[in-house]
Each structure stands twice: as structure tokens, then as C-alpha cells.
């Protein structure tokens, strides 16, 4: 089965988003966990951005020896040399060189002609190749670049030593059909050389980052750039955990595999949340608090009988300790009976009915029932009844 590399940019693109900055020690902690997760590449930072970022990349490269470490650089000499310095300690370094290729970016931001951009791509990749063997080129805003020019830029990059071509949807503008078609055209133009890996890097401005990444896989892309919890500029990047589980659950559809240890997904998500202080949305796929929580009675009944009825993957598979049957106004009697048993109460049908009446009544007022609420109800209904029966028996004797 074909292997898809996971290029994690949590420490670079993810950290660039407001409120997600990490110091060196935090980057090292996160990098260790990414290594345990089994990512193929860790992009550790953007060395030219600051001396602190350069030193953080060096620290990660010294600490994590079994995963290739990448550093980002614009197609500028100073950027290249800063990245070279940052990557010196790396066992397997990768230089990630980028330059915008859309006319909008070239004209409004960079004030470059198309010809000048092509010259910069070729010369800076050639410079980087003097220091680092593995070079990745990213055509920033590829999704809005005229396709013939994009193909030409990729050709120049390959001719000068790039072995990975990343075509990012930098502003989250693409839709899956368009994004996949772009890669097919670039593959056709290049002749689909075996030594070149195509890479996808998607942003979530329209909520399509994961869908676009998966469309790219169908188009032959064998590296996906993503972040834990989907953090990143603006609306974020493609979420690593969602891509990983989608490719695993629908392996029959995509025909590819990653080398990720899915049991480390939840731990990775929680560690990032702890480091950044950013709370994960309850309805977040795979790692959100509600991802394996069930309140509707019909769903709870199905889960009790066979978890596959409402869960396409078990919580343990992604490292979540267990599923939750939430007691609320939508809950059913089967879930209530199971919850009572877990608290040590074996209710009769009549006792269950009374407990259910009280639970739904309380839920209408307070939304969810806490364990202590249920214990109070069970004590009042079951224990008091048992005491009353014992007293009656004692009096009769």
C-alpha cells in the first residue's frame, strides 16, 4: 500500500497564528510528542524570523534525532543562510524554500515580474542545495496561480535540485475538484518523475482544508502538511488528526497508509492545548470532548448493544480513554440503567422509571446530569426504598 508522509508544521505554521506562540522548551516538548506520534517530518520554525526562532529550530534538531527536521526560508539568501545555521545539528535536515507564484502576490506583495520570480526560485534552490540535500519548494498561493506558469515554476525548482514540490492552498480558496486537478496537471507536465514527491498544504478559510488534502491524495500527492488540532494562520490548517483517521477508516477508498501511531493522537492534541492554553472545541472531530460522547437515547441504546452502530472508530484507537454516555433530557432508560450499575445501584423496573422521571426533570433545568446528581437521585429512590422495606420487615417480625 502506498505511503503518505505526514509533514507536521504545528511548530511553524501553527505557531504563527495569534495566541499560539511557544518558547523553546515548549517546542521541544511538542516535538518529542510528534516523534512519538510517528510524523515523517517536523517543520520546527522559520529561522530568519528571530534569533529565538533560529535557536528553537537548533534545539529541536538536537533533541529529536529520529525524525527529519525542516526549516522554512523565503527564496532569499539571508533566509537560506539562517535556515542552514538552524539545521546544522539536524541528523536529517530539510530546507523548505518558498516563493509566491500567483500574479496577485507577485505584483501586490513582492513587486516581482514572473521572470524575476522564476530566476529567484532557481538560484535560491541551487544555493540551498549546496548546504542541504533535501530541498522542498513551495509555490505560495499555488491555488490561485495560472496553471501554465505554476508548471513552469515547478519545472525550474526540480531542475535546480528540489525533490519535494508543495502546492499550497495558502488562503483556503480552493475546492476539492479544483485542487486535485491542479496536481494532476503538474504531474502531467513534469512527466511524473519517481524521485519527486508532491505535497499538499491547505488552509481552512472555507472549512475545506481536510477535504482538499484528501482530494490531493486521490490526485497522487504523497505528502500532506498539517497541524495538530488544525491550528494555523486565520482559520487554521488541515487537522492532522482528522486526516490520519480519515485515511485509516477509509483505507479501502484511498488505498494509502500513514505510519502514524493513532493511539498518540489524543495525547498530542491535549499536550498542544496545555502548552498553548487554547481550549479544543467540544465538537472537534476525533479529539473533541463530544467526539465519543452520546446523549440521545437511540444512540445510547445502539452503543450499548454494539458500538459500531454509532462509532466508526473506537475511542481507544485514537487514545481517548473511553466513550461517554451523557445523561440529559434526550437520554434513554438503557443508558440510565448502565450508569446506575456503574455507581453500584441495581435498580428494579419501577425504581428505574422513578429515577428516569427525576433525571429528565432535572435535565430540563440544568442540561446535563453530573455523577453526584445521579447518586443523589439513586440514593433517594433506591436506598430509601430499601431502608423502608427493611423497616417494614423488622416491624412485622
Q: What is the pLDDT of residues 313-340, one digit of tens each?
A: 999 999 998 887 778 778 888 888 888 8
Do 258 and 299 reside in the same domain of the chain?
no
Q: What is the pLDDT of residues 228-244, one digit of tens each?
A: 999 999 999 999 999 99
Q: Give the global pTM.
A: 0.88
Determine the distance from the C-alpha atom of residue 65 to the mean position of all C-alpha atoms in its chain, rounded to a whole number. 23
Please give the biggest Cα pair distance in the chain: 104
Q: What is the C-alpha to C-alpha distance for residues 394 and 332, in angstroms, rounded to an integer?
A: 36
Do 250 and 303 reside in the same domain of the chain?
no
Q: What is the pLDDT of residues 118-134, one digit of tens each?
A: 999 999 999 999 999 99
Q: What is the C-alpha to C-alpha distance for residues 391 and 393, in angstroms, rounded to an integer?
A: 5
Are 45 and 264 within 8 A, CB to CB? Answer: no
Residue 37: what pLDDT?
Answer: 98
Q: Considering its fold, how many domains does the chain have in total?
A: 2
Rg (CA), the chain: 27
Higher pLDDT, 186 or 373: 186
Do 269 and 355 reside in the same domain of the chain?
no
Rounded average pLDDT over 361-369? 77
Q: Is 388 exposed, middle or buried (CB count within 10 Å of its CB: 0-12, 13-18, 19+)? A: exposed
Do 257 and 352 reside in the same domain of the chain?
no
Range of the domain at 85: 2-276
Percentage of the chain surpassing pLDDT 90?
73
Q: How far apart are the first and last CA of the chain?
A: 76
- Paired residues of 72 in beta bridges: 96
Tell whether 110 is covered by a domain.
yes
Tell whether 350 is covered by a domain.
yes
Number of neighbours of residue 328 by Cβ within 10 angstroms: 18
- Paired residues of 293 in beta bridges: 324
Q: Is 233 exposed, middle or buried (CB count within 10 Å of its CB: 0-12, 13-18, 19+)? A: middle
Amino acid at each position: 500500500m502506498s505511503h503518505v508522509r505526514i509533514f507536521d508544521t504545528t511548530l511553524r505554521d501553527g505557531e504563527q497564528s495569534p495566541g499560539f506562540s511557544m518558547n523553546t522548551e515548549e517546542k521541544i516538548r511538542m516535538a518529542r510528542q510528534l516523534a512519538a506520534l510517528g510524523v515523517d517530518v517536523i517543520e520546527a520554525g522559520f529561522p530568519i524570523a528571530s534569533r529565538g526562532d533560529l535557536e528553537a529550530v537548533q534545539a529541536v534538531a538536537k533533541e529529536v534525532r529520529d525524525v527529519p527536521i525542516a526549516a522554512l526560508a523565503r527564496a532569499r539568501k539571508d533566509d537560506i543562510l539562517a535556515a542552514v545555521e538552524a539545521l546544522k545539528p539536524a541528523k536529517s535536515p530539510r530546507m523548505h524554500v518558498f516563493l509566491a507564484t500567483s500574479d496577485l502576490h507577485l505584483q501586490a506583495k513582492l513587486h516581482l515580474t514572473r521572470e524575476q520570480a522564476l530566476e529567484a526560485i532557481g538560484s535560491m534552490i541551487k544555493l540551498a542545495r549546496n548546504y542541504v540535500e533535501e530541498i522542498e519548494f513551495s509555490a505560495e498561493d499555488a491555488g490561485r496561480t495560472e496553471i501554465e506558469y505554476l508548471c513552469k515554476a515547478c519545472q525550474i525548482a526540480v531542475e535546480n535540485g528540489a525533490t519535494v514540490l508543495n502546492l499550497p492552498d495558502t488562503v483556503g480558496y480552493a475546492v476539492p475538484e479544483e485542487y486535485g486537478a491542479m496536481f494532476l496537471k503538474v504531474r502531467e507536465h513534469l512527466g511524473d518523475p519517481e524521485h519527486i514527491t508532491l505535497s499538499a498544504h491547505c488552509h481552512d478559510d472555507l472549512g475545506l482544508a481536510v477535504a482538499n488534502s484528501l482530494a490531493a491524495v486521490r490526485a497522487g500527492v504523497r505528502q500532506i502538511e498539517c497541524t495538530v488540532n488544525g491550528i494555523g494562520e486565520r482559520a487554521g490548517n488541515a487537522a492532522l488528526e482528522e486526516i490520519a483517521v480519515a485515511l485509516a477508516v477509509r483505507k479501502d477508498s484511498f488505498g494509502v497508509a500513514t505510519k502514524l501511531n493513532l493511539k498518540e493522537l489524543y495525547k498530542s492534541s491535549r499536550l498542544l492545548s496545555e502548552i498553548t492554553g487554547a481550549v479544543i472545541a467540544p465538537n472537534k472531530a476525533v479529539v473533541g470532548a463530544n467526539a465519543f460522547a452520546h446523549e440521545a437515547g437511540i444512540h445510547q441504546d445502539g452503543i450499548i448493544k454494539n458500538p459500531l452502530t454509532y462509532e466508526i472508530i473506537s475511542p481507544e484507537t485514537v487514545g481517548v480513554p473511553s466513550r461517554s454516555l451523557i445523561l440529559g433530557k434526550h437520554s434513554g432508560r438503557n443508558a440510565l440503567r448502565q450508569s446506575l450499575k456503574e455507581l453500584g445501584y441495581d435498580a428494579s423496573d419501577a425504581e428505574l422509571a422513578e429515577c428516569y422521571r427525576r433525571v429528565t426533570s432535572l435535565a430540563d433545568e440544568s442540561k446535563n446530569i453530573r455523577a453526584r446528581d445521579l447518586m443523589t437521585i439513586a440514593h433517594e429512590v433506591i436506598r430509601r426504598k430499601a431502608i423502608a422495606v427493611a423497616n417494614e420487615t423488622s416491624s412485622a417480625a
